[in-house]
Amino acid sequence: MRYVVGVDLGGTKTAAGVVAADGSVLLTEQIPTLNRDGGEAILDATAALIASLIERAAAVGAIVEAVGVGSAGVINAAEGTVISATDAIVGWTGTAITAGLTARLGLPSAVVNDVHAHALGEAWHGAGKGASTALMVAFGTGVGGSFVINGQPVLGAHFVGGHVGHFASPLAIHGGTALPCSCGHEGHVEAIASGPAIHAAYLRNGGSASLPDTRAVFDSARAGDDLALSVIAIAAAAAGQAVGGLINILDPAVVVVSGGLADAGELWWDAMEAALRAELLAPLAAVPVVRASLGNTAAIVGAASLVLDH
């Protein structure tokens, strides 16, 4: 059996696992991402994490051959570098991930954006398993996605493919003005359909500041708070409209929805799927729309698939 390490490198934590050629996860470890210390410090810490896993795997007879990484930021997968990144990871832009890890570990490596890695995991061994084409959309702190065709994500000519939170939503408006988006533009899906957008909408519409975050807004909605119910319904409708439009464009065999909002229960899911179904062209009416199934290991498994022939 062949073994590799898959890494999920995010803005707050870096998780990694030893993954077998059949997609099973043998061992996992996690560390905080040194997101204020710059790219080289992050690579040092990530390499140490991988080295620890390699040692643990060797102790049980599993020899690691390569490293696959799913990383935050816009990733040039051909060169293994970070094209751009948000302030969530200071000094990450320009970091040579694959060259840096190979120099530190002596193993071949590959990298894609972390959302693509998540989608690859779900397409290989998760909710999209067996489908020739899978559209994965994640709704959480942000809104992202990936379209996987026969096990390969569509990265785009400039490696920006998958930024599904950044096209116009008719619901991303308040008082006649388009809502600002995290990308610096206005009126995008992420500005109304992300987790933080729900909390912001609750406060913007007169909700109590005693509710500190999106989770609290959901709790209040379940307790009968009409405003909380309303802002969640609007956000879910915006999410569903967006995914429905993407289905009309891409015609995927299956749609996988992931992220914190997808895991928030029927309150969000039912409204999202109803809005999605209302958008679909007639031949697409029965397209399966399912929750992601691999949880925290999805991006680890997907990253590992970059360096495995499966």
DSSP string, 122-150: HHHHSTTTT-SEEEEEEESSSEEEEEEET
Write out the H or E segment, with its range, that includes residue 153: strand 152-153
Q: Which domains does the chain have, with CATH numbers?
A: 3-121+296-305 (3.30.420.40), 132-292 (3.30.420.40)
CA distance 308 to 33: 25
Write down the pTM of the prediction.
Answer: 0.94
Give the pLDDT score at 310. Answer: 53
Give the pLDDT score at 162. Answer: 95
Chain-centroid distance, C-alpha 186 = 22
Give the pLDDT score at 87. Answer: 87
| 3-state DSSP assignment of residue 279 | helix
User: What residue ranges of the chain have pLDDT lower than 50?
Assistant: none
pLDDT tens-digit readout, 228-245: 999 999 999 999 999 999
